[in-house]
Amino acid sequence: MIAFCDGRTARALPLAQDHKRAFDGDQGPNTGGMGAYAPANRSADVAALCRTFIEPIVADAVTNGTPYVGMLYAGLMWTEGGPRLLEWNCRFGDPEAQVLLSLLDTDLVDVIEACLAGALETVPIQLRTGSAVGVVVASAAYPGDSNATPSRSAVTLGDPQFGARIFHGATELFDGVLVANGGRVVTVVGTGADLAEARDHAYQAVSGIRLAGSRYRRDIAWQAPGLDVASYKAAGVDIEEGNRAVSLLKSSVASTTNSRVLRGVGSFGGAMDVSFLKEFDHPVLVASTDGVGTKVELAARLGRVRGTGIDIVNHCINDVLVQGARPLFFLDYVASSRLDAKRVAEIVEGMSDACRVSGCVILGGETAEMPGVYADGAFDIAGTLVGVVERADLLPRPTVSIGDVLIGLASNGPHTNGYSLLRRVFSWASLDQPYGRLDRSLADALLEPHRSYLPVLGPILRDPRLKALVHVTGGGLVENVPRVLPPGLDATIRVGSWPVPALFSLVAELTTMHPMELHRALNMGIGMVLVVARDDASVIRERLGEESWIIGELVSSKEHEPCVRLSGH
């Protein structure tokens, strides 16, 4: 703590913390100081500390007839018993002066003249808001033998940007060239709105300095992040808000439960009685883990997050459905920079809606608050769903063969894929307005929840005429159809054999993407594909109970890996 003194009055500056050891981690020999930052320990009562450690000295000097005018420096150490004095100095301090004076807004000359006139109380000592961090760049030998002859090495200081200044120490001009004269060569001080910004400015300026054999500490202000942290909440994690979130979502989760659930939300792990699997001849568990992807950024920005809960459940349902499985239970994961209990509850309500419709229970989940990992206001969703199927009904069946046809079922939007592209394409559009042939706002079209195909496919899952199912996710028709094809088969898909929804037509108009690339990035209106024999297609389509289209067929291939060929574009 450094204070101005006028013989009767003392006025302290903010606390400054220096770093005495030569090397990172407070290792190595002591030095005069390898860096400093201010304010340090913002929670400290500087005025009270001044009354304890500075003002008694000033008063005693007056009593002794030797009033002290100048700077009084109290070196303090924080102990379990509170602050204790280590030393006094009658000076500023180096490198503390560089950071403290960088924060002084009042003209230093005015303050000094007031001290000399015994009128310090008449001058307001005003400080800039924010922080300052100073980094010392020293010669390699420092703090070695002070009597050693320093080598004159040329110094290039670069061009410090706004927010940084360079203070000279052991430098001189030699034959018109700036050279280092040993010891602590310069101190680079960064200022900013907070310590993090000030530290960034300082080290950015340090990176521009060129001096052979120089070194500096890379951890100046390393103590600072924890000084004002008195609780987990102060570190960015609000346990009470997490408890509130659990309380708010319990009722919606409970709406999905059944008598098989033994342990649910609030337990360390969910527990389900699966004795009913004895009724199966050969039960197979099918599991899917996935996320909603960058669609969550759009949902967070527009404050419409309920649909993302539906998205993750239905995406996972469709993933197990393509193997013939029906959903049993779902586990969710929601993470964000700052926990908002109401938003978490809204997301989980969406999950509960989707699970309840599909006869699936939410068996457990995790809500994580992760400051510094996610951007402010951002969140992410992932989930795991487990389903069950008789082994004899596991899809795809080995009967997939040449001549089989592909039946397409409509998507109800982009589902949960392609949003990095969509957000880029519509980045300048007004999301609350319709465009092109859209009959609703762009936001409504983009945030339409991922549909579940269980209601339409459930009745035919065990029909032996159904050979395979394809959930059209990331990679579109081009990448997903080959996943169910055996070697020696390709798929030919006829573009134009189904009506392309307005949103996808709009994307095609606004980009120069090749049709093959479009059908890899987006589902283009087809969210699920069925593989059946040509002779069975009419019966299967009739059993589906909704409009469908024959969009292609399977053909022989000379390639080792199956692929999709697009025709009609």
* Domain annotation covers residue 523: yes
pLDDT at residue 239, as a whole number:
63
Q: 326: Cβ–Cβ under 8 A, 6 or more apart, which residues?
A: 320, 359, 387, 388, 389, 454, 458, 461
- What domain range is 176 assigned to? 2-226
Contact call for residues 10 and 55 (beta carbons, < 8 A): yes
More confident residue, 41 or 221: 221
The enclosing H or E element of 381 equals strand 379-390
Which of helix, strand or coil describes residue 71? strand
CATH number of the structural domain spanning residue 280? 3.30.1330.10
Residues 29 and 165 in one domain: yes
Which of helix, strand or coil describes residue 33? coil
Residues 45 and 194 in one domain: yes
* 163/199 Cα distance (integer angstroms): 10
Pairing of strands 171-174, 69-79: unpaired
* Domain annotation covers residue 489: yes
Residues 552 and 455 in one domain: yes
The DSSP call for residue 311 is H
Least confident of 20-24, 201-205, 223-227, 405-409: 223-227
pLDDT at residue 151, as a whole number:
66
- pTM, entire model: 0.73
Contact call for residues 470 and 528 (beta carbons, < 8 A): yes
**What is the mean predicted confidence (pLDDT) over 2-8?**
96
Residues 304 and 387 in one domain: yes
Least confident of 75-84, 154-163, 399-408, 425-434: 154-163
Residues 323 and 362 in one domain: yes
The pLDDT > 70 percentage for the chain reads 95
* 97/463 Cα distance (integer angstroms): 83
* Domain annotation covers residue 105: yes
Instruction: Tell me phi and psi for residue 91, to 5 degrees.
Output: -170, 175
pLDDT at residue 149, as a whole number:
47
Q: 554: Cβ–Cβ under 8 A, 6 or more apart, which residues?
A: 400, 401, 402, 403, 404, 405, 406, 485, 489, 490, 491, 492, 531
Categorize the per-residue pLDDT at 244 as very low, low, confident or very high, splitting at 50, 70 and 90. Answer: confident
Contact call for residues 319 and 464 (beta carbons, < 8 A): no
pLDDT at residue 509, as a whole number:
92
* 216/169 Cα distance (integer angstroms): 14
Note the pLDDT tens digit of each residue in 498-544. Answer: 999 999 999 999 999 999 999 999 999 999 999 999 999 999 999 99
**Token output for 505:** 């037509």
**Token output for 447:** 């945030």
Residues 387 and 413 in one domain: no
Which of helix, strand or coil describes residue 440? coil
Contact call for residues 186 and 178 (beta carbons, < 8 A): no
Note the pLDDT tens digit of each residue in 449-492. Answer: 999 999 999 999 999 999 999 999 999 999 999 999 999 999 99
List, in sequence order, every residue forming a beta bridge with 133; answer none if it has no partner: 37, 190
Residues 84 and 207 in one domain: yes
User: Which of the listed residues 174, 200, 226 is the one where a domain comes to its end?
Assistant: 226
pLDDT surpassing 90 at residue 232:
no
* Domain annotation covers residue 231: no
Size (the chain), residues: 569
Residues 381 and 451 in one domain: no
* 462/259 Cα distance (integer angstroms): 26
pLDDT at residue 234, as a whole number:
56
> How far is residue 177 CA from its own chain's centroid?
47
Categorize the per-residue pLDDT at 204 as very low, low, confident or very high, splitting at 50, 70 and 90. Answer: very high
Contact call for residues 491 and 485 (beta carbons, < 8 A): yes
User: Which of the listed residues 369, 393, 417 is the one where a domain comes to its end?
Assistant: 393
Number of domains in the chain: 3
Residues 260 and 374 in one domain: yes
* Domain annotation covers residue 286: yes
Residues 383 and 429 in one domain: no
pLDDT at residue 399, as a whole number:
96
Instruction: Tell me phi and psi for residue 240, to 5 degrees.
Output: -65, -40
* Domain annotation covers residue 182: yes
CATH number of the structural domain spanning residue 160? 3.30.470.20
Pairing of strands 466-471, 564-567: unpaired
The pLDDT mean for the chain works out to 91
**What is the mean predicted confidence (pLDDT) over 307-332?**
96
Pairing of strands 326-336, 379-390: antiparallel
Residues 141 and 64 in one domain: yes
User: Which of the listed residues 202, 226, 250 is the one where a domain comes to its end?
Assistant: 226
Note the pLDDT tens digit of each residue in 112-155. Answer: 999 999 999 999 999 999 999 999 999 988 998 654 545 678 99
Q: Compute CA distances 416 → 9, 28, 84, 309, 521, whole Å.
A: 68, 55, 60, 11, 11
pLDDT at residue 377, as a whole number:
87
Q: What share of the chain is helix, strand, coil (3-state, %, to 5)?
A: 30, 30, 40
Q: 194: Cβ–Cβ under 8 A, 6 or more apart, which residues?
A: 130, 131
Phi-psi region of 520 (alpha: psi -120 to 50; beta: other; left: phi over 0): alpha
The secondary structure of 283-294, three-state, reads EEEEEEEEECCC
* 32/7 Cα distance (integer angstroms): 28
pLDDT at residue 230, as a whole number:
58
The pLDDT > 90 percentage for the chain reads 77
* 60/66 Cα distance (integer angstroms): 9
The enclosing H or E element of 180 equals strand 177-180
**Token output for 117:** 């006139």
* 468/401 Cα distance (integer angstroms): 11
Handedness of CA 410, 413, 416, 420 (dihedral sign): positive
The enclosing H or E element of 189 equals strand 184-192
The enclosing H or E element of 467 equals strand 466-471
pLDDT at residue 568, as a whole number:
79
* Domain annotation covers residue 455: yes
Pairing of strands 361-369, 326-336: parallel
Residues 191 and 59 in one domain: yes
Q: 217: Cβ–Cβ under 8 A, 6 or more apart, which residues?
A: 19, 22, 23, 24, 34, 35, 135, 136
Contact call for residues 404 and 531 (beta carbons, < 8 A): yes
pLDDT at residue 227, as a whole number:
63
* Domain annotation covers residue 400: no
Note the pLDDT tens digit of each residue in 376-398. Answer: 889 999 999 999 999 999 999 99
Categorize the per-residue pLDDT at 255 as very low, low, confident or very high, splitting at 50, 70 and 90. Answer: confident
